[in-house]
Amino acid sequence: MSTKIFKHIQTSVVPLPIENIDTDQIIPARFLKATTREGFGNNLFRDWRFDENDNPKQDFVLNNPNYSGKILVAGKNFGCGSSREHAAWAIADYGFDAVVSSFFADIFKGNALNNGLLPVQVSDEFLKKIFDAVFEDEHAVVEIDLVDQFIKIVATGETESFEVNPYKKACMTNGYDDIDYILSKKELIAEFETSK
């Protein structure tokens, strides 16, 4: 089965300069009762975005009409906590194609990559530059190129390269899927089982 293809994007960004954003904030547990992958975007950052009466909290960035774009930029250790893939689904379903942070939790990173959502890890300094750029001009545009593995703040031209596992890069740029890959090695699995 193929997954979403990602090669290159250039868009404005949504800044969320908070550290250690855990997956319970991204999608609270009470919204994990759905049995399909769709619709989680409505509850993305639910308790930061809406108050107890479901009214939008004006001071939260997703409710600020000045900020939009396909890249979410967040503080370090993004996606820590629960392994719920619903967090990656919610971010992608909301309309983001990439998340930029100076550090990602392991499981979140894997989940994002399995859903065509690109986690881009940058240095602390570069992260600060992006925040500075977007707080200076909320329409500041950032370019992410997966093929050549760089991220660029378009207005200033500042660029940093980022790492990505070569296998995962191939999957994302071609829309391959892990299960197809493992199934292509099925005879090795059978061999392993008999040798045990």
Partner 1 sequence: MGQTLFDKIWDAHVVSSNEGFPDILYIDTHFIHEVTSPQAFDGLRARGLPVFRPKQTVATADHNVPTWNQHLPIKEELSRYQVDMLTKNCAEFGIELYGLGHPFQGIVHVIGPELGITRPGGTYVCGDSHTSTHGAFGAIAFGIGTSQVEQVMATQCLLQQRPKRMKIEVNGQLQKGVGAKDIILYIISKTSAAGGTGYAVEYSGDTIRSLSMEGRMTICNMSIEMGARCGLIAPDETTINYVKGREFAPKGEEWDKAVAYWQTLYSDEDADFDAVLYFNAEDIEPMITYGTNPGMGIGVTQHVPETLSFEEKEQGSYKKALAYMGLHDDEQLLGKPIDYVFIGSCTNSRIEDLRQVAEFVKGKHKADNVTVWVVPGSKQVQEQAIREGLDKIFDAAGFPLREPGCSACLGMNEDKIPAGKYCVSTSNRNFEGRQGPNSRTFLASPLTAAASAITGKVTDIREFLKEAELVS
Q: CA–CA separation, 114 vs 6, rounded Å?
A: 12
Q: CA–CA separation, 131 vs 145, rounded Å?
A: 19
Tokens of 132: 């500075």
Q: Is 5 in the site for partner 1 (CB under 8 A)?
A: no
Q: Which stretch binds partner 1 (CB under 8 A): 56-64, 76-84, 139-147, 150-158?
A: 76-84
Q: Is 41 in the site for partner 1 (CB under 8 A)?
A: no
Describe the strand order of the beta sheet including 150-153 as a list of residue ranges: 118-121, 98-101, 71-74, 8-16, 141-145, 150-153, 158-161
Q: Is 182 in the site for partner 1 (CB under 8 A)?
A: yes
Q: Is 20 in the site for partner 1 (CB under 8 A)?
A: yes
Q: CA–CA separation, 124 vs 12, rounded Å?
A: 20
Instruction: List residues near partner 1 by CB under 8 A.
Output: 1, 17-20, 22, 24-25, 28-30, 32-37, 47, 52, 75-77, 80-86, 88, 103, 105-107, 110-111, 114-115, 124, 128, 165-167, 178-179, 181-183, 185-186, 188-189, 192-193
